[in-house]
A = this chain, B = another copy of it.
């Protein structure tokens, strides 16, 4: 087990009607004037935004707002938010939405207090030393951004989709998590979120660090819970308890609870980011295509952890065959879950239905080119990802 620091100071307030506590929590964390960041119209139509504002009013907290954040959020809304926050002399930001909204809010939070261009943080030119405090009212369990210090933003000009990890400055002060708010999510979004949170765990689980039993068992436990409750949620979207289990799993998957003491990789996420940056696909759906392909490749080249996943999460028995056989069977069962239960695409053809086979092959060349431009000729800790390897993995995501 490697040395590590675990620091997750967010106050999570979970359960029925908890959005009514937004104002009291914002007050507790010192808010005087809040910028509310949100996405499309659903937060407005459902009345959620009004309830949040009412709660702020009741606690004497001023507020203004910025809507219109979209999936795969871009730098444009961040610049807009920074300008608004400065003009309105905001001292606290509340994100009402899912990962895209929260990541935009975090990026505004560190951009406001920085003299230069916030994008400097994302290209590694500067480190975040301070940020406005952020609170969250979560509506989509997926990204886990409500409990992490991470944010991912796409630069509209350069088409780079890049992330930052600043656990000491960008973790939300509080996160309000009411599973009822997730009941009206479209099945597609619920499913993509479930895949996203599973992969957040797998990216930590696919490690070469030995003797990480406590982390392994927690990862496997959370993955098992997500599969069981994910099936329930897909069958009955109004199942409060299943929604609650999924919502909490999404947080646990990404706040650092899983993966302590492991060298983490995240190659799969990086390979997906190239797809969603260019084609604006839903991140979780992109992962449903890329991650099993990555695992299929690793079943031949570094099978140990994939085989352990197969045995402990999908109950493949040790007598099934070689370590590679066991690993590949796990990948097959994982793909079945994604396809049959979650109704997600598991091939590039299904993910990008408007492209011909030829165009998909050209797209793969482009993904590989951009991936290694962003990450270097060789990257990856679990297995070295060279252009040959990434090409093979993207090709394993083609229809067989």
Contact = CB atoms under 8 A, between A and B. Distances in A.
A241 interface: yes
A221 B216 CA distance: 8
A102 B210 CA distance: 31
Contacts of A241: 1, 210-211
A320 interface: no
Contacts of A11: 5-7, 9
A26 to B, nearest CB: 16
Interface size for chain A: under 10, 10 to 19, 20 to 34, or 35 or more residues? 35 or more
A245 B1 contact: yes
A221 B18 CA distance: 29
A105 to B, nearest CB: 20
Interface string A214-229: 1011101110110011
Contact of A245 (B7, B8, B9, B213): B213
A229 B214 contact: yes
Interface string A239-276: 01110110011001000010011000000000000000
Contacts of A388: none
A211 B242 contact: yes
Contact of A214 (B214, B220, B222): B222
Nearest to A18: B3
Interface in A189-248: 210-214, 216-218, 220-222, 224-225, 228-229, 240-242, 244-245, 248
B261 A211 contact: no
Contacts of A6: 11-12, 14
11 contacts: A1-B244, A1-B248, A3-B16, A7-B12, A211-B242, A211-B245, A217-B221, A218-B222, A218-B225, A218-B252, A248-B260
10 A-B pairs with the lowest CB-CB distances in the bound complex, closest first? A3-B15, A221-B221, A211-B241, A217-B221, A9-B9, A217-B225, A1-B244, A214-B225, A7-B11, A6-B12
